[in-house]
Amino acid sequence: MQIYRVHDRMVAKGLSVVMATRNESECIKKVIEDYGYVLSKISLDTELIVSDFSEDDTLQRAMEAAKDCSLNAVPLDVDRPGRGYALRLGVEHAGYNLICLVDGDGSHDPKYIPGLLECHKRGCIAMASRFPPLGWGEEHTFFHYYGNRIAVATVNLLFRGNVSDITNGFCIMDRRVWSVLALDSDHWSFDAQIVCRALKRGVSIIEIPCFEPKRKGGRAKLNLFDAFWRIGGRVFLERITP
């Protein structure tokens, strides 16, 4: 096993999938089974960090499903809400040099992980895109689609980028890139922060097309008004800070 030192921490060569969950009990078993199948086919050591802040038994069901499919899974009981916070905390507990960020509602299909690994290069971010000219999503509404188009155009203009999706968050990066980004967003602006900081700090983003299916269970936890203020505010904040 190869061991790397990253900022005075020893990590092994492999892939840590960090999954944020909140009240996904009705679908988490199927989600974990899907990830277990895909990760079992990857020629790397892998682990799944389930970073959970739930009022139901999501974490327990996730661990039971992981055991049933012999998936190396680590439970993490998060102490406060916030998707970005859950993902950041999960990365702190991850043991491998490659990090894959995903959601636990089934909207991030694990079948795209091999493609992300294939296109990933050291020092870059491999990211799945749900929007033209690359991909598509089954839950796109009029406001979701055109709101995202406006947000993407704004980010590309402000940061001289050429990306097609800033709010998916389904990506793979190595720990050195994670350290360069120094992410601190706790909420749904986390995905936009990844893209903005990558563009302004010279980290390349390589996009692959993906189709985002409907969530397997649960309900959306971000409304349009919150999305506008959180994501728009984050983009503005990243523009005026180093």
Domains delineated in the chain: 10-240 (3.90.550.10)
Res. 165: pLDDT tops 90: yes
- What tens digit of pLDDT does each residue of 4-49 get? 444 445 678 999 999 999 999 999 999 999 999 999 999 999 999 9
Residue that has been written with the tokens 């139901």 in this structure: 56
- What tens digit of pLDDT does each residue of 139-161 get? 667 777 888 889 999 999 999 99
C-alpha 168/C-alpha 228 separation (Å) is 15
Task: Record the pTM.
Answer: 0.91
Residues 6 or more apart whose Cβ sits within 8 Å of residue 226: 188
Span between the terminal Cα atoms of the chain, in Å = 38
* DSSP-derived secondary structure letter, 223: -
As a dihedral over the C-alpha atoms of residue 233, residue 235, residue 237, residue 242, rounded to 10 degrees, the angle is 170
C-alpha 80/C-alpha 46 separation (Å) is 27
Question: Can you give the pLDDT at residue 132?
Answer: 72
C-alpha 125/C-alpha 101 separation (Å) is 11
